[in-house]
Structure 1
Amino acid sequence: MKGTTIALDHWQGREAAALIQDGHLEDLLIDTDLPRPGTIYRGIADRPVKGQGGMFLRTPDGNAFLRQVKGLKPGQPLLVQVTGYAELGKAIPVTQRLLFKSRYAIVTPGAPGINVSRRIKDDDIREMVKEAAHEGLAEAPLPDEAGLILRSCCAEASPEDITEDVIAMCQLAANVLADTGTEAEILSEGDGPHAQAWREWTDPAHIAAQDGSFEHHEVLDMIDAAMRPHVPLAGGYSMIIEPTSALVAVDINTGGDTSFSAGLKANLAALKDLPRQLRLRGLGGQIIVDPAPCPKKDRKQLEGSLRAALKRESTETILAGWTQLGLMEIQRKRDRVSLKSLLKSAGK
């Protein structure tokens, strides 16, 4: 099946969205019972963590942890935003750097200025985008010391849609930043999968929003495949992806290919697909890759292949280097909950 489809449906009773490109599952968003990234709290400073430069906060959803704090006193209210999902038994990760993000516009408190995405090269389009934004700002001005980023997808949008988005984000930011409450409270809920898909999957696509769209577009089978450790690759190669309590182990195999270049070919195929596989499985943290045997001189080529694949990722992912045993070390932000955890919580 050629082309791009966005399927909006439910999986195991949870709201979900799937991005399908040319018949392959490219991305998957599934709602959880945990606080959504992007949620903004009025948190209450609780107790500092000595030696870590952090502070535990009280929120309506439990303890949160804020890094690199100075001058905070227990009992002090402050605005914080959820940055990702907490590991089991740990506090919700939050930041004081708030972002009010939509499909076309991002309001940035503490970072004044109006900026248009550099991906928009055409001067006429850039001017249209700025004019649409200024129309919105005339109705809903930016809060003091706040800025505005106009995203790359503005290039394909109508001026009216851009103006409407700017107004909505500026009004939301103004309401939240004007907060004067003193008790722990949720001030803005993070986006669910359907809203997040509209916000982030901006390339032209067919939208399938009817009930049963996952079954019709074979998304359920694709999710089942993403649950399995074994990942078949082109050329008869494969990799095994197995999360443990401490890390995610990735083992790359050459299969039946016994040629001299089999190791390099298998590694290149696996590293090209690895970011997508981690994304679909909701895996992050420490990732250790055991490559198929290949000469040490090929490592730069492998690193280049992985970095090229990571350029399309929105999740912060760092190639840390190689161990003495020839294993590749990767660090990936935990911004999703693993598929297996979601399946367990559904009682399966």
Structure 2
Amino acid sequence: MEMTRDDISALARGCAVLGTGGGGDVRAGALAAVRAIDAHGPVPLIELSDLDDDALVVPLSGIGAPTVSHEMIHGEDEPLRIAEEIERIFGRRPSAVMSSEIGGSNGVAPVAWAAQLGLPLLDADGMGRAFPEVQMVSMYVAGLPADLVIMSDVVGNVTTIRPMDGLWSERIARAVCVAMGSSALMADYVLTAAQARGAVIEGTVTRALTVGRSTEHTREPLEALRRTLQAIRLITGKLTDVERRTTGGFVRGTARIEGTGADKGRTLTLELQNENLVAVEDGRVRAMVPDLITVVDTEAATAVQTEGLRYGQRVSVLAWPCDPLWRTPRGLETAGPRAFGYDLDYVPIEELSA
């Protein structure tokens, strides 16, 4: 299969939904992907089984605060500089690009980066959604060493980090990101295809395309999206309050939705850290990370990123189960509610909604 410009719109819609509010605004990534395909041609979409064991896979993503990346978009040289640094370190070129996270612009922009590098895109990622911190990837949960991070910014700086472990990779990469203006391109967990087997979440680009296409040619896009995701609708209503701040390379805050129609009289509060992490109604948790929580426009069923939340928007909130990897003990230790500072024991969305 090849990714063409005709696929980008559906991919962007799907990645926005899977981004759970984070991963960056998909519009910039979609424009970059279309531009790169027009300049360099379609991008082959390959499976992990298509690669030799020693083939180098490069997970790429933007790191930083979505409110910043929305205004300071990536240039065309960052992926080239990172690829050059990888070739200098390993003595050979990468064989494929992979999205570190399929959510938001970080799920769409890798099409552009792959086209610019003349490489195929791997139908996989490291999250199955979006998460805000560097160590919150399936490779870390699988126990692979996080011993190399390469970052580049729009100015031309290239920083190579040799961290002791995944937690140190987050601390150091975040500090570098803040110095770069809270927005940079990052390659983390550069790995061989042999290492990637069982350590990445496969089929997620195809999944994003399916999610994006589910709302096409239907009179009830919200219900079509809910069915495709097998999601729970937590509330439909109006955004009445948004508190948002950019600090330490993250967007943090809360959003409150007051129910309308059949949900009149109800209020749902979302806790944000780049992504929607916890949904609370009347003191009762309705959904929590690592399960996915996404805010969508009620009429069009298009996702609304955390940096795009505005007073008065008519929205619905959907929640659905995460990849089983995140429900393992190490997965919950890495990206469960306590990893974000919430004094909550994880309860799956299926149990909370029962």
Shorter-chain TM-score bucket reads: under 0.3
Specify which structure has the bigger relative contact order, considering alpha-carbon pairs within 8 angstroms and separated by 6 or more residues.
Answer: 2
**What TM-score do you get using the length of structure 2 for normalisation?**
0.28
**What TM-score do you get using the length of structure 1 for normalisation?**
0.28
By percentage of residues, which structure has more helix?
2
